[in-house]
Structure 1
Amino acid sequence: MEDDTSPTIGSSRFGDGQRGSSIEECQNMIRRSLRNPKVKFLIEQMEKSGCRVGANFINAVVCKGPIAGGYTAGEGITVCSNYLTIQDEVNQVVIHELIHAYDECRAKNLDWLNCAHHSCSEIRANHLSGDCHFKRELLRGYLDMRGHEQDCIKRRVMMSMRNNPNCTEAASKDAMEAIWDICYNDTKPFDRAP
């Protein structure tokens, strides 16, 4: 899934990989996710911005690491069948990764190896996809009520930034803090955070 030339962006983490679905089952869930209103909206917005989303843009694969999916610049979205079992998980991964794809589409000079650029897209993807909704956090075992969404976003940004070979933990944290307000408040293509 990951190679040395093109970093995979936005690696959502789920489970241990032993309980997942087959590639065929996952591909069917991906097809169903294309009817999800958020997914449809994001694809429409990408196409309005001049980025075509072809039939092979989102694919089920078997992944090596404990991740649920990823976006690879210029290639598309992978959904890790061996880590996902239910439709909601697939929908969530597809939405998260489509936000990364949308960011690349609208910012033609996005450099995924730049810690600030990558961090900004991770902030947006975690915020706008609903990855840090209170119910999802409860299911992950995070019970803190106050500030849970922003804490969750920061935690998940730092996890994803580990996949960027150009960004140390300190550089990732500095980049995230420096651009937090701008990126957290950037809700495009939505009018407000869903």
Structure 2
Amino acid sequence: MAFQDEITQVLIHELIHAYDDCVAKNLDWKNCAHHACSEIRANHLSGDCHYKRELLRGFMKIRGHEQDCVKRRALMSLKNNPYCSETAAKDAIEAVWDICYNDTRPFDRAP
């Protein structure tokens, strides 16, 4: 069952990226802000940063764990983008945070 949960979470994460790619006008994965926004949304909406997952990863923070996790995981992904330096990635995440974190489309709310 845990394995199925992992598969489901990964699929939701990747489907958020696919949704963004289809719906966002002129989405450019080379643009750090565009990539950051999709990563923020995918990490937030897929359950990647659920408290139980974070505990299993060894992150024990009680308050603010979900937002810290979303930022940490978005940064990990952006660091793999050859068009985004670590500084550019951090700046992009902060620049788009409020809008992208609060954008729950295609869901009514974050799970």
- Matched to 1:103, the amino acid is D
Partners of 2:14 and 2:44 in 1: how far apart?
12
- Matched to 1:169, the amino acid is E
Structure-2-length-normalised TM-score: 0.96
Deviation at 1:108, TM superposition (A): 3.6
Matches within 5 A, 1:53-72: none
User: Which residue of 100, 116, 120 corresponds with 2:33?
Assistant: 116
Whether 1:181 aligns to 2:101 is: no
Matches within 5 A, 1:24-39: none
**What's 1:150 paired with?**
67
Contiguous gaps of at least 5 residues in structure 2: none
Partners of 2:3 and 2:45 in 1: how far apart?
21
User: Which residue of 117, 121, 132 corresponds with 2:49?
Assistant: 132
Higher relative contact order (CA 8 A, sep 6+): 2
Name the SS of the counterpart of 2:35 in structure 1: helix
Moved over 4 A (4+): none
Mark the structure with the bigger radius of gyration. 1
The structure whose residues are more often strand, as a share, is 1
Aligned length: 110
Deviation at 1:164, TM superposition (A): 0.6
Deviation at 1:184, TM superposition (A): 0.3
RMSD of equivalent CA atoms: 1.0
Contiguous gaps of at least 5 residues in structure 1: 1-84
Deviation at 1:162, TM superposition (A): 1.5
Identity of aligned residues (%): 76
Name the SS of the counterpart of 1:144 in structure 2: coil
**What's 1:11 paired with?**
none
Structure-1-length-normalised TM-score: 0.56
The structure whose residues are more often helix, as a share, is 2
User: Which residue of 157, 161, 166 corresponds with 2:78?
Assistant: 161
